[in-house]
Amino acid sequence: MTAAMAIAGTLPAKATDLQFYFPVAVGGGAAETIESLTKEYMELNPGVNIDAVYAGSYQDTITKVITASRGGNAPQLSVALSVDMFTLIDEDLILPFDDFIKTEEDQAWLDSFYPAFMENSQTGGKTYGIPFQRSTPVLYWNKEAFAAAGLDPNTPPANWTEMVEMGKALTKRDANGNVSQWGVRIPTSGFPYWLFQGLTTQNDVILANSDGNQTNFDDPKVVEALEYLVSLSEEHGVMEPGIVEWGATPKAFFEGQTAMMWTTTGNLTNVRKNAPFDFGVAMLPANKRRGAPTGGGNFYLFKGTSDEQLSASVDFIKWITEPEQSAKWTMATGYVAPRPATWDTDTMKAYAKDFPPVLVARDQLEFAVAELSTYQNQRITRIFNDALAAAITGQKDPATALQEAQAQADAILKPYRVGQ
């Protein structure tokens, strides 16, 4: 019996068919790598057939998963955002992995993931998600642009003040005030709450509790963080005003439209392949403390699945999260390998020696916090994102926008606090 088989028992001799939904939210060879790894597993386990379905974005994937499950046609396993855990529990669609922990080896596997990633994977004493394509936002900077602006190309901003000061030196304006290069770009579309959570964490405030039923949107420290984000455009003129597009940010960086950008470490391989200049990668700049949210997707197991399918699903998840497979995934995408054991492989040691920026997001986990996640998560994050947009576009001042968002969130989450 292989190590991967221990957790699930011996797989049946007859063919077992699995449907596996997965999203891809970054550039690079993510989809191709998933398909390659899935094919490799099937070659090693000829009794298992896995239909790996690329389900689109994270939003597309969770919508398809819920729709299929309600229709009685749930996939056996899926990667979905770690923050969708409470939603999937609330919909009564997923099973805890604890039900499949039978041996000491099984428990050792479950305990082998970085604690920062498990914060968005566990609740109520149970583990509902297994970290896979996990990430944190990091700072990328154009070393050539830094040198041209008279800045040390090997020294990124260490704190909020330095990011503004360097941003001013890096912003290029012509005589008419037209900007050809902005100092910094922090996306405020797509996942605005996530990049903004970098700022709130650095300002030493947590947006939601670990039970997923209480938010702190109107905390003065959250207001201060939003005021700082708005000031980058309105006061300091170092970032493009208005909503900054998530999807267009790497391209803007490659084309010299911004000298610094905040985006996921999951874009690391994309940047390495496509940036036409020497670039650096750093932890996000600090304020009261260092910090960033974790992000990305977990594996989930779905109800309505036969015992044979569950056995094969858990076996596949255990196999694909083993160090060698995890190393292939990290090198192909830039996502953070979610287990320390992966970083101890000769494969990853050689990769990190050749490309040290891959270590930045891993090292930032020491300062990371759980990504914003609550019950009714899509409703709550939409409310919060709308509040951020209202402040960024000048429709409301930050304090008012966040107070209104907190009131709406309280109305939605109050029923989940009954009995506490």
Tell me the domain boundaries of the chain. 3-134+295-361, 137-293+376-417
In the prediction, which pLDDT does 191 show?
85
Q: Sign (positive/negative) of CA torsion 69, 72, 73, 78?
A: positive
Query: CA 41, CA 322: separation in Å to the nearest integer?
Result: 12
Q: How far is CA 314 from the centre of its chain?
A: 22
Number of alpha carbons in the 13 Å side-chain half-sphere of residue 214: 8
Query: CA 161, CA 140: separation in Å to the nearest integer?
Result: 17
How sure is the predictor about 419, in pLDDT bands with cuts at 50, 70 and 90? low
pLDDT digits (tens, 9 = 90+) for 76-132: 999 999 999 999 999 999 999 999 989 999 999 999 999 999 999 999 899 999 999
Query: CA 179, CA 377: separation in Å to the nearest integer?
Result: 38
SS3 (DSSP) at 84 = helix
Give me the amino acid identity at 393. T
Q: Do domains 3-134+295-361 and 137-293+376-417 have the same CATH topology?
A: yes
- Give the residue-averaged pLDDT of 306-314: 94
Is residue 24 pLDDT above 80, yes or no? no
* Residue with more model confidence, 268 or 185: 185
What Rg value do the Cα atoms of the chain yield, rounded? 22
Check if the beta carbon of residue 128 is closer than 8 Å to that of residue 110: no
SS3 content of the chain, % helix, strand, coil (to 5): 45, 15, 35
- ∠ CA 212-196-281 to the nearest 5 degrees? 120
In the prediction, which pLDDT does 234 show?
97
Residue with tokens 């960086």: 253
Check if the beta carbon of residue 368 is closer than 8 Å to that of residue 116: yes
Check if the beta carbon of residue 303 is closer than 8 Å to that of residue 177: no
* Residue with more model confidence, 334 or 261: 261
How sure is the predictor about 56, in pLDDT bands with cuts at 50, 70 and 90? confident
- Give the residue-averaged pLDDT of 10-29: 71
- Give the residue-averaged pLDDT of 364-385: 96
Q: Determine the topology of domain 137-293+376-417 in CATH.
A: D-Maltodextrin-Binding Protein; domain 2 (3.40.190)
* Residue with more model confidence, 318 or 3: 318
The architecture of the domain spanning 3-134+295-361 is 3-Layer(aba) Sandwich (3.40)
pLDDT digits (tens, 9 = 90+) for 139-178: 999 999 999 999 999 999 999 999 999 999 999 999 999 9
